[in-house]
Amino acid sequence: MSPEFPVEFSQTPRSLETIARELDSRGLKPTAQRLRVASVLMSAPAHMTAEQILDELRRRGSRVSKATVYNTLKALAQHGLVRQIHLDSERSVYDSTRVPHHHFHDIETGELVDIAPDEIAFSRFPQLPEGTEAAAVEVVIRIRRKRSSAGSGE
């Protein structure tokens, strides 16, 4: 894929000014409330659920409603400012790294860890349905603690 992926992938922290500019440039008005929510997620590479973002805002003393957090995250995702990753039918994680990349998903802790795009290569790729093109290829590798096969202990 595109050679600039690794450069964009290793993103540096964003200042509040940068975040405001990014919202503006994607047609999303950078209101104070939106910036409060966006800054929690977008300041550094992060994977957070809406609940985690709400907790962090509360910890910072922000009185932002749950509805505002959810609506803001939805708007950020719709405008391509963050990525929404569906872990299962009930849980979504928001990712501040926008370029397509892969993840380890720890099924015991729920944690997501980035895998750089160039760390996975495909030797075989399915035929795409007629009239479609691949917009992104993102792999989720589900991991868990190793289970001892020796049967020692217990």
Q: Give strand pairing partners of 83.
A: 95
Among 40, 46, 64, 95, binds Zn ion (CB under 5 A): 95
Q: Could you say whether residue 94 binds Zn ion (CB under 5 A)?
A: no
Helix (H, G, I), strand (E, B), or coil: what is residue 140? strand
Q: In angstroms, rounded to a whole number, what is the distance separating the alpha carbons of residues 137 and 9?
A: 15
Say whether 51 sits in a helix, a strand or coil.
Answer: helix
- Per CB under 5 A, the segment of 5-13, 15-23, 60-68, 92-100 that binds Zn ion is 92-100
* C-beta closer to Zn ion: residue 22 or 95: 95
* Number of chain residues interacting with Zn ion (CB under 5 A): 3
Shortest spacing between CB 138 and Zn ion, in angstroms: 9
Comparing CB distances to Zn ion, the nearer of 70 and 104 is: 104
Q: The tokens of 7 are what?
A: 């450069």
User: Among 12, 40, 14, which Cα is nearest to 25's?
Assistant: 14
Task: Tokens for 79, please give them.
Answer: 């405008």
Q: Point out which span in 34-42, 86-94, 113-121, 125-133 binds Zn ion (CB under 5 A).
A: 113-121
Of positions 114, 138, 140, 143, contacts Zn ion by CB under 5 A: 114
Count of beta carbons in the 10 Å neighbourhood of residue 125? 8
Give the binding site for Zn ion (CB under 5 A).
Answer: 95, 97, 114
